[in-house]
Amino acid sequence: MEPIHLFVPRFRVEECLAQVRECLEKGWTGLGYKTVEFENAWRTYTGLPHAHFLSSATAGLHLAVRLFKERHGWKDGDEIVSTPLTFVSTNHAILYERMKPVFADVDEHLCLDPKSIAQRIGPRTRAVIFVGLGGNTGRLQEVRELCRERGLVLILDAAHMAGTRLDGRHVGGEADATVFSFQAVKNLPTADSGMICFADADLDTEVRRWTWLGINKDTYTRTVEQDGVYRWYYDVEHEGFKYHGNSIMAGLGLVSLKYLDADNAFRRQIAAWYDELLAGEEGLERIPQARGCESSRHLFQVEVDRRDEVMAALNGAGIYPGVHYQDNTVYRMYADMAGTCPRAHRASGRIVSLPMHLGLTRADVERVADSLRQVLARRRSGGSRPLASVKSIG
């Protein structure tokens, strides 16, 4: 039987090739040109006031921490509250700036629980990074309020949230900086790129210098728009990074953006099929969606006991689910916080992300749901065959 994979990116190949061709024929593949067009398109789509196109969301998370650190005079060793249930980028970004991630626990949405955040706030806490896991907004509004009351910066890791709306508005306006990922398996696929959206206009201006080595003028402006003998001239104000996006990626992004709402609507359809087919299933818990959240549905997650056995049994049926994510404290470099977030840790051993991509049909979703139900039914009747097959995996 055909394998059913967790993620399969869909590209509109002819339209993407036309975009790439335009760049090649113009002789401009880098910063400027389509990157500007894509930034404008993203601002129009989301309604967010500012957007700067990047090489990745990881770069964006680093820049968010860096720029707020500069602006507010944060010190090395100051703390940022974050979640252990995320891709490691989120937490590495804090360490890049020699600050300290402090993990708070998650709620039933698998997003940060504001009550737990409040317990972690101390004299050196400066910010919170909230991850909208799978596109879910969780208790983002409450976290927004908490940050406002306690004078903390809020950074939104919206890597999963391209197209997520909360109470009818695209997410991002809640945070001081919101970072999106357009990596190939995310909802708005390119190959690798991202977007950082600051609330503050000055930071938007500032970040453009930081993404190109501190150089205060981009090459496109110098080459194409500026006349006279000083075309070649620029100043360098600080070290900066090489984090800007390029026109090839922006071209792919422009195509994906056209289809984002339709693609996400189909993802929600897949989620509704899973919901329907798995309704009332014993031994399986679903992750509730926050009220008012029209999720991008980057993920469809469920929780089961002895997850690794379930995964192995599904693999045996040609179905390849994923796990988003392992509690980061299981990794050696974050192990010092092991045991501080029991709910995240428990979820980490139980969550399964079922296949979720635009190539799935109703029949595929039925096959996944049937296989999952069979595994759980076999377990209830005391069958142990799937257990045996797991031991070899370790």
Q: Which is closer to ligand PLP, CB of 195 or CB of 270?
A: 195
Q: Do 308 and 326 touch, CB atoms closer than 8 A?
A: no
How far apart CA 2 and CA 17 sit, in angstroms, is 29
Span interacting with ligand PLP, options 152-160, 312-320, 335-343, 360-368, rule CB under 6 A:
152-160
Q: Which is nearer to ligand PLP, 179 or 376 (CB)?
A: 179
Binding of ligand PLP at residue 137 (CB under 6 A)?
Answer: no
Q: What is the CA radius of gyration of the chain?
A: 22
Residue pair 279/26 in contact (Cβ under 8 Å)? The answer is no
Minimum distance, C-beta of residue 203 to ligand PLP, in the bound complex (Å): 20
Q: Which residues pair with 285 in a beta bridge?
A: 303
Say whether residue 328 binds ligand PLP (CB under 6 A).
no
Give 116 or 183: the residue with its C-beta nearer to ligand PLP.
183
- For residue 162, the minimal CB distance to ligand PLP (Å) is 11
Confirm or reject binding of residue 82 to ligand PLP (CB under 6 A): no
Question: Per the omega criterion (within 30 degrees of 0), is the bond before 325 cis?
Answer: yes
Give the separation between CA 328 and CA 341, rounded to whole angstroms. Answer: 10
Residues in 1-60 that interact with ligand PLP by CB under 6 A:
56-58
Q: Are strands 301-304 and 351-353 parallel, antiparallel or unpaired?
A: antiparallel
Binding status of residue 87 toward ligand PLP by CB under 6 A: yes
256 binds ligand PLP (CB under 6 A): no
Residue closer to ligand PLP (CB basis): 160 or 345: 160
d(CA 90, CA 131): 8
Q: With CB under 6 A as the contact rule, which of the stretches 84-92, 112-120, 168-176, 307-315 interacts with ligand PLP?
A: 84-92
CB 327 within 8 A of CB 341: yes
Site for ligand PLP in 90-109 (CB under 6 A): 90
Query: Which candidate, 132, 127, 86, 128, places its Cα nearest to that of 109?
Result: 132
Rounded to an integer, what distance in angstroms lies between the CA atom of residue 155 and that of residue 161?
13
CB nearer to ligand PLP: give 114 or 253: 253
Sketch the per residue contact string, 182 through 201, with ligand PLP: x for CB under 6 A, - otherwise: -x----------x-------
| 290 in contact with ligand PLP (CB under 6 A) | no
Handedness of CA 220, 225, 230, 235 (dihedral sign): negative
Contact predicate 329/338, CB 8 Å: yes
Angular region, 135: left φ>0, alpha ψ -120 to 50, beta rest: left
Q: Smallest distance, Å, CB 187 to ligand PLP?
A: 11
Residue type, position 9, single letter: P
| Binding flag, residue 89, ligand PLP (CB under 6 A) | yes
Which CB atom, from 155 or from 372, has the smaller least distance to ligand PLP? 155
Give the interface with ligand PLP as residue ranges (CB under 6 A): 56-58, 86-87, 89-90, 131, 157, 159-160, 181, 183, 194
